[in-house]
Amino acid sequence: MGPDSELAGRPTRVDIDLGCFRRNVQAVLNRLPEESKLIAVVKADAYGHGAVQIARECERLGLPMLLVVLVEEGIALRDAGIEMPILVSAALSSREVLAAIRHDLTLGVTTTEMLRHVINHVEDSNIPTKVHIKFDTGMGRLGILAEEIGDVVTLLASSNLVSIDGYYSHYASSFLADDPLTDEQDVHFAEILETMRGHGLEAPTHHIASSAGLARNLVSHGAWVRAGLSLYGCEPVEGSGSRLEPVMRWSTRVASIKDFPTGHRVGYGRTFTTACPSRIAVIPVGYADGYDRRFGNNAEVLIRGRRAPVVGAISMDVVTIDVTDIENAAIGDEVVLIGSQGEDEISADELASRIDTIPYEVLCRVGKRVSREHTDASRLTNQTDD
């Protein structure tokens, strides 16, 4: 809800700093070889950052293409007025392919079956369509296998309305330092490109690396890159000399504080008992907002510039924190779940490692009922979104 609403009050919010996002884009562009280009990955609501606002920023920055996974995600961007090319990378049904073509989305063709759907619809509608074709070079997931190239060539020969704008693949382990699979995938991909060239089916672009591959300098001259995570300010591999800034800041405010004697239990299942006289604060956020239940007794938040432990179980709508050591902690104090406050910072990486997951999951699970506020300090504008 917007600031004018009578109930503008829910203090649990995510602030997205578009200035940070722009600087991250620039940092990522600086890592690219000359002649290479960046496809900005904005699937899953731009990893929780608000796909429309992030896409607008990418359009202003003149990036060549966005990537989404759902056709609905692509259509929502078109409905919001985004005009730049949008690649939909998924195994789409016939109906989804048709919807994508009608909304001028670029199809990332990931199966031979899907290529059949594309050709059928394109021939029916007589609309020329450009596609990117994905090959499986070792991931064992989506993508056409080298063995299927014969079928692909035959299918493509049956339509002169479908043209190939790019070939792509996906590294399975580029975030690991020495997995030989990465080199094997490079070799395999090069062979496939050569085979397609041999069939007279050259494409102007190809891409295999995402954020991790780029951070490891695996991008060949002229190849494109599909990056998500690093644009949002997380380093995909350790020790790449981070110059990226977290774009998301997730905060709330203290709703209630109580003093308890030693031995008082807190929350469902009494998983926490005070070891001394304690002040326990309640913050209005819970697993329904994407704050994982496994953070119970297992995470910290920032309040008054200092760390306070999360104590007790995470409920659907509330979390309890121990503010005994936070001087003057009071109702209404800002509490930061992800982001910085004072000198300290809680990163998506830190939260991910506490619950044995990856920052991708922490970011994209921040729930729909948390309002997103997009700010842009350097442009001195403040766009508020419902």
Ligand X SMILES: *Cc1c(COP(=O)(O)O)cnc(C)c1O
Question: Site residues for ligand X, window 83-122 (CB under 6 A)?
Answer: 89
235 vs 292 by CB, closer to ligand X:
235
Residue 274 makes contact with ligand X by CB under 6 A:
no
41 vs 281 by CB, closer to ligand X:
41
Active site residue 268: yes
Alpha-carbon span 63 to 295, nearest angstrom: 37
- Minimum distance of ligand X from residue 306's CB (angstroms): 32
Residue 228 makes contact with ligand X by CB under 6 A:
yes
Residue 314 makes contact with ligand X by CB under 6 A:
no
Q: What is the helix (H) or strand (E) element at residue 381, kind and residue range?
A: strand 381-384
From 43, 134, 167, 291, active-site residue: 43
User: Do residues 323 and 303 make contact, with C-beta atoms less than 8 angstroms apart?
Assistant: yes
> Measured in whole angstroms, how far is the alpha carbon of residue 83 from the centre of its chain?
21
Residues 47-69 as b/e (b if ≥16 CB within 10 A, e otherwise) read bbbbbbbbbbbbbeeebebbbbb
Question: Site residues for ligand X, window 124-163 (CB under 6 A)?
Answer: none
Residue 206 makes contact with ligand X by CB under 6 A:
no
Can you read off the two tokens belonging to residue 79? Answer: 């409905």
Question: Site residues for ligand X, window 234-253 (CB under 6 A)?
Answer: 236
- Minimum distance of ligand X from residue 68's CB (angstroms): 9
User: Do residues 254 and 71 make contact, with C-beta atoms less than 8 angstroms apart?
Assistant: no
From 130, 167, 268, 360, active-site residue: 268
DSSP summary character for residue 378? G
Using alpha carbons only, give the angle 380, 381, 386 rounded to the nearest 5 degrees.
150
Taking CB under 6 A as the criterion, the residue among 24, 111, 211, 324 binding ligand X is 211
Active site residue 43: yes
Which of 244, 335, 236 lies closest to 283 in space, CA to CA?
335
155 vs 237 by CB, closer to ligand X:
237
Binding mask 71-90 for ligand X (x = CB under 6 A): ------------------x-
Please tell me whether residue 215 adopts helix, strand or coil conformation. helix
Taking CB under 6 A as the criterion, the residue among 52, 107, 227, 352 binding ligand X is 227
Rounded to a whole number of angstroms, the distance between the first and last alpha carbons of the chain is 5
Q: Which residues pair with 132 in a beta bridge?
A: 108, 166
- Minimum distance of ligand X from residue 231's CB (angstroms): 8
> Measured in whole angstroms, how far is the alpha carbon of residue 39 from the centre of its chain?
13
Q: Which residues pair with 372 in a beta bridge?
A: 14
Residue 210 makes contact with ligand X by CB under 6 A:
yes
Binding mask 52-71 for ligand X (x = CB under 6 A): -----------------x--
- Minimum distance of ligand X from residue 39's CB (angstroms): 8
The residue ranges that bind ligand X (CB under 6 A) are 41, 43, 69, 89, 170, 210-212, 226-229, 236
For the annotated catalytic residues, the residue numbers are 43, 268
